[in-house]
């Protein structure tokens, strides 16, 4: 059965009491990946995947999800500042639709506005060099997206 594609509010009621989530920042050249702890309190950057073809990218993500016993996927949805959706948001929705038949892990779309900018500010504050920031920015943006989702889940579930 294909995975449901849901909002964070819907995801809250599909998840088991415990279990890590994986966060994805989908870019045109890379996919930033972050994971949470089993208690869903803290998101941590994990890695950056260089994009190839959808099948290869999906396989890498699902292998990570299997290894880490992931119970949900939080996919960043790049909504414009005026709340409209452009080509990048459509690409994220298409990625979710294509990933859904390959897994039973629920996929939640989460507004990722300003996630990369916030991650960049955090890395600059850590006095990280521009070259090093370029290597890790996508995974940190994924962690920012996932942390927002985790915070929302806690607000829903109390």
pTM comes to 0.88
How far apart are the C-alpha atoms of 35 and 23, rounded to whole Å?
6
**How big is the CA angle at 50 (ends 44 and 51), to the nearest 5 degrees?**
115
How far apart are the C-alpha atoms of 43 and 40, rounded to whole Å?
8
Classify domain 5-157 at the CATH topology level: Nucleotidyltransferase; domain 5 (3.30.420)
Domain regions of the chain by residue span = 5-157
- The total of other beta-carbon atoms located within 10 Å of residue 4's CB is 14
Which residue has 């889940």 as its token pair? 153
* Residue ranges in 6-101 assigned as alpha helix (H): 8-12, 54-67, 87-99
The tens place of each residue's pLDDT in the chain, 158 residues long, gives: 889 999 999 999 999 999 999 999 998 899 999 999 999 999 999 999 999 999 999 999 999 999 999 999 999 998 877 878 888 899 999 999 999 999 999 999 998 766 566 666 776 666 666 666 555 678 888 998 999 999 999 999 87
């Amino acid at each position: 059965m294909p995975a449901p594609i849901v909002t964070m509010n819907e995801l809250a009621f599909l998840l088991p009491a415990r279990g890590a989530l994986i966060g994805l920042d989908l870019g045109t050249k890379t996919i930033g990946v972050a994971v949470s702890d089993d208690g869903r309190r803290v998101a941590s950057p994990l890695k950056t995947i260089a994009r190839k073809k959808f099948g290869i990218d999906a396989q890498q993500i699902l292998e990570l999800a299997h290894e880490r016993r992931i119970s949900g996927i939080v996919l960043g949805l790049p909504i414009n500042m005026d709340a409209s959706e452009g080509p990048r948001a459509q690409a994220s929705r298409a990625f979710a639709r294509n990933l859904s038949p390959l897994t039973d892990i629920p996929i939640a779309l989460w507004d990722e506005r300003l996630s990369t900018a916030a991650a960049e500010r955090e890395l600059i504050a850590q006095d990280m060099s521009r070259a090093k920031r370029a290597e890790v920015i996508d995974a940190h943006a994924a962690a920012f997206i996932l942390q927002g989702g985790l915070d929302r889940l806690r607000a829903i579930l109390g």
